[in-house]
Amino acid sequence: MTDLVLYGHPDSGHACKVALALALTGLPHRTVWVDIWADPATRPADFLAASPFAEVPLLMIDGVAHVQSGAILLELATRFGTLGGDTHEGMRRGREILMWEANRIGMCLPQLKEARRTNGAGFPPGAVDWLRMRYDTDRARFATLLGDAPFLHGAAPGFGDCAVWGYAQWLAEAGVDPNAALSGWVDRMRALPAMQTPRGFFPQG
């Protein structure tokens, strides 16, 4: 059996993407809680040795380090033929969603959430307005991507759904509203039997 160890933290939407993918596939794994708010130098030595930027998520697969949430999702989908990875069409769909997520909704939502947390500290004037403007476009394009299907991959969630979930789970925390398409999808995602809260995915040791 493949040995899977996921390093993450409940405040990391990037780590939640991978935790959700593992939960949906039912792949046995264990998680390691890493304090992303602490000085990186204080993080576990094995984690620092394997994660080049000292960032979560880090997924160890049979002792081999895998970083970057989108790349990890692709690895899981192809290696285990799951979450869309079982068909060419599913892979194409998932890749397209991953690229869109990384450039668009997965860029502005984490920043908007962080701006709320810091009350705007660290953000130059106009940055938050610009991010909100981008989110308005992203929200509309999410509806286009979803179409009439329940999930971005169609009848069942795939690895693209996991990618978008990472930060779309925190729309209120980012101070933005969903449209009907996004709201319905969030409800369906939250109702998945495998879904957990971020703390459920990453309980503190």
Ligand X SMILES: N[C@@H](CCC(=O)N[C@@H](CS)C(=O)NCC(=O)O)C(=O)O
Judged by CB under 6 A, does residue 168 bind ligand X? no
Beta strands in 68-154 (DSSP E): none
SS3 track for 43-91: CCHHHHHHCCCCCCCEEEECCEEEECHHHHHHHHHHHHCCCCCCCHHHH
Judged by CB under 6 A, does residue 68 bind ligand X? yes
Nearer to ligand X, 40 or 154 (CB): 40
Judged by CB under 6 A, does residue 57 bind ligand X? yes
User: Which listed range, 66-74, 121-129, 146-154, 183-191, lies at the site for ligand X (CB under 6 A)?
Assistant: 66-74
Nearer to ligand X, 99 or 140 (CB): 99
User: Which listed range, 50-58, 74-82, 135-143, 193-201, lies at the site for ligand X (CB under 6 A)?
Assistant: 50-58
Q: How far is the CB of 58 from ligand X (least distance, A)?
A: 9
CA angle 24, 28, 34 (to 5 degrees): 90
In the region spanning residues 91 to 150, those forming contacts with ligand X, defined by CB under 6 A, are: none
What amino acid is encoded at 25 in this protein? T
Nearer to ligand X, 40 or 184 (CB): 40
Judged by CB under 6 A, does residue 25 bind ligand X? no
Judged by CB under 6 A, does residue 55 bind ligand X? yes
User: Which residue do the tokens 């933290």 mark?
Assistant: 9
Site residue total, ligand X (CB under 6 A): 11
Among 69, 82, 111, 169, binds ligand X (CB under 6 A): 69
Instruction: Kindly give, in sequence order, each residue whose CB lies less than 8 Å from that of residue 18, ignoring residues fewer than 6 positions away.
Output: 6, 8, 57, 59, 69, 72, 73, 76, 162
Judged by CB under 6 A, does residue 40 bind ligand X? yes
Nearer to ligand X, 168 or 181 (CB): 168
Return the half-sphere exposure (C-beta side, CA atoms, 13 A cut-off) of residue 103. 8
Rounded Cα distance between 183 and 99, Å, is 22
Where on the chain is the footprint of ligand X (CB under 6 A)? 12, 14, 36, 40, 54-57, 68-70
